[in-house]
Amino acid sequence: MVELTGNSLTLQEISRVCFDGEIVTISAESMHKVAESRAAVEKIVSEKRTIYGINTGFGKFSDVMIDEQDVNDLQLNLIRSHACGVGDPFPEEVSRTMLLLRLNALIKGFSGIRPVIADRLAELLNSRIHPVIPQQGSLGASGDLAPLSHLALVLVGEGKVFYGGRVCSTKEAYKQEGLEPVVLQAKEGLALINGTQAMTAMGAINWIEANELAYQSEWIAALTMEGLEGIIDAFHPAIHEARGYPEQMAVAQRMRQLLSGSKLITRQGEKRVQDAYSLRCIPQVHGASWQALDYVKEKLEIEMNAATDNPLIFDDGETVISGGNFHGQPIAIAMDFMKIAVAELASISERRIERLVNPQLNDLPPFLSVQPGLQSGAMIMQYVAASLVSENKTLAHPASVDSIPSSANQEDHVSMGTIAARHAFSIIQNVRRVLAIECICALQAVQYRGVDKMAPQTREFYEEARKLVPSITGDRVFSEDIERVTDWLKKNDRTWTNIRDGFQVDECKPYPIIDIAL
């Protein structure tokens, strides 16, 4: 069970709620704040004070006054008119995360909703009723208006939901769960849709997946090191301490641990003096990606606990301020940063694939084929990896550098943060497939070298992976192998590491200093 306070939600808790299905509760203190904030809104309405979004129109219509008897209709009209997202729906885990994040933001007590709204969001989570939310249509400022409007539709009994393993109408799901639609009152519609929860939810799922991929990339790189008889000296702690980046040092330490006991790795001067950069610079390149992921985590965990709607209510309603916390620029830049960082994991992986298959760069069978010439082996798998890496270069173009004015130029600078988050998700899927290809090629290379010579940890990895991908004994439809390994990595259902709990440096066993002959 995860208790929400509006201030302390973590990415680990998001993983527990959105992947493991844990239920949520709302702290009593937070519900008290919600009630106080709602009382402030009702006081404003009764005093006929002019406050944006309570008794005015929205955006360019902010100067249009709304009669008191129409303030409830104003909120429902807002939700219906703004629910114009298009395209494929967000994955169900992203929709679930949006519910969680919107609830967490509203219970901070600055938004003026009634407790019934918070209760309903929690009920949707705990009943696993997840809105079907189209992915396209958000500019990432004024909040994720279109996506969150589709979320809000479900509260009023409209729209569609994921429920019971299928898509159905909200009405049908409500009937099954014994729920009644909520009738929105003053400010509640605006409070539900003015926020960054679409981009932040997508970003949180991205980070969870990217974090796992980054660890997986090290396991697979270690396998490649053995397949190419890589030089272990490049991971000597002295080199990385001399530069000083903690993330680089951590990657080097994990690589040393993974390769501990291997008889396939070499020392400098045994077979060659230096390895190519894609092997020698694994700590430097992967470490830099870890730096970016650490930055992204920090920004996400701030945003996950932020009040991002407008206006915000302070001092029991005496201070109501229209600001811009809905502007997604912090997450937009973080998602663009993530795109580059994760794309680089595939970029260097593809270069390792080339070294595994290119007979001019190794002493393995050409393209790992059992009958070179008659059979092509892994030749076209490298093509696929190159294609995915090239596609990532296009997707990695920063979305946050773009802006198009909207609402008759009232909203004249926007973040495009949701586009950045969606593109980051696409990059992650591509990277996983590139790593799957490297894994398949590395498995074949170490088999050629001698599985009995592998390090204990990589040998365990090898045995697990071979349950999915048999040895290449002849040409076959390798697409199926790639997808099986990709699914394996995504599901994380293996025993050779527990990535979701973290594989941190301080958990690594001490590794002896390598005696490098200078």
Closest CA to 193 of 41, 83, 357: 83
* Fold adopted by 2-195: Fumarase C; Chain B, domain 1 (1.10.275)
Q: Give dist(CA 415, CA 142) in Å, integer.
A: 10
Find where tokens 């440096």 sit: 505
Written as one letter, the residue type at 515 is D
> What interhelical angle do 115-126 and 92-106 show, nearest 10?
150
Closest CA to 111 of 279, 285, 250, 314: 314
Q: Among positive and negative, which fits the CA dihedral 98, 101, 107, 110?
A: negative
Q: Give dist(CA 33, CA 317) in Å, integer.
A: 12
Catalytic residues: 52
Closest CA to 302 of 406, 384, 200: 200
What is the distance, to the nearest Å, from the Cα of residue 290 to the centroid of all Cα atoms in its chain?
14
Closest CA to 298 of 207, 416, 396, 425: 207
Q: Give dist(CA 173, CA 47) in Å, integer.
A: 39
Q: What is the CATH number of domain 204-311+334-404+415-507?
A: 1.20.200.10
SS3 365: coil
| Residue spans per domain, the chain | 2-195, 204-311+334-404+415-507
Residue 399, both tokens: 């979305």
Q: Give dist(CA 60, CA 428) in Å, integer.
A: 38
Residue-level pLDDT, tens digit, the chain, 518 residues = 999 999 999 999 999 999 999 999 999 999 999 999 999 998 888 888 878 777 777 776 777 777 777 778 888 998 999 999 999 999 999 999 999 999 999 999 999 999 999 999 999 999 999 999 999 999 999 889 999 999 999 999 999 999 999 999 999 999 999 999 999 998 999 999 999 999 999 999 999 999 999 999 999 999 999 999 999 999 999 999 999 999 999 999 999 999 999 999 999 999 999 999 999 999 999 999 999 999 999 999 999 999 999 889 999 888 988 899 999 999 999 999 999 999 999 999 999 999 999 999 999 999 999 999 999 989 999 999 999 999 999 999 999 998 888 887 778 788 999 999 999 999 999 999 999 999 999 999 999 999 999 999 999 999 999 999 999 999 999 999 999 999 999 986 433 344 333 333 333 333 333 333 32
SS3 279: helix
